A and B are shown apart, each in its own frame.
Chain A
């Protein structure tokens, strides 16, 4: 199984909105509404931010939102804050009953 494709880096200024894309195939992202997103700060374990494409766990800011179109899922962060600077990973369930991650995107808050 091949890793999902994410941009290596994105950046934005405080208060702005950014979007991170996650592209897969019809066997993973496109075939199921089972995409999740994780935030990872340096030296820390990943934290769940979005599951099932667009659902937000309790305690996660509503500035984080998810969507999907075809084989591409997206994570949007609005009202960027300094604390949002981190690495972000998407993950998808696959037709083989496995999970696959994206390569990760480094978000820089300018």
Chain B
């Protein structure tokens, strides 16, 4: 059964770059899209973006200018970088496997499973 384990810095100062990595264990890495999703404290979920094993990406238009998602297929890992963070980027960040590939759009339809979540706080 596939499991996702994520890690990264939990406390950042404004203007720094958020960096998180998610490792995939126990399942195939190819054939899926791998997503990042965040949830500000007490608020709802926001999709950040996704990547597949060959590096094809889709991003949330509202975050696209600051987001980079990359993949390391040799380690079955994918990563998130979010630049120029502010307090508004404080959230629990989740990685998730995207399933149900949409053809030919090259995207996914649902998320399962999810990582355990990482709280990232932006504060001076």
Contacts and interface: CB of A to CB of B under 8 A. Distances in A.
A91 interface: yes
A93 interface: yes
Interface stretch (A9-17, A76-84, A95-103): A95-103
Contacts of B114: 45-47
Interface string B40-71: 00011111001000000011111000000000
B102 A36 contact: no
A101 B94 contact: no
B47 A100 contact: yes
Interface string A5-45: 00000000000000000000000000000101010000001
Nearest to A51: B110
A100 B99 CA distance: 15
Contact of A97 (B43, B45, B99, B105): B105
Interface in B93-117: 94, 99-100, 102, 105-117
25 contacts: A34-B100, A34-B110, A36-B109, A45-B117, A46-B111, A47-B114, A51-B112, A52-B109, A57-B112, A89-B44, A91-B45, A91-B111, A93-B109, A96-B61, A97-B107, A98-B58, A98-B60, A98-B61, A98-B107, A99-B35, A99-B47, A99-B50, A101-B44, A103-B44, A104-B43
Interface of A: 1, 3, 34, 36, 38, 45-48, 51-52, 57, 89, 91, 93, 96-104
Interface of B: 35, 37, 43-47, 50, 58-62, 94, 99-100, 102, 105-117
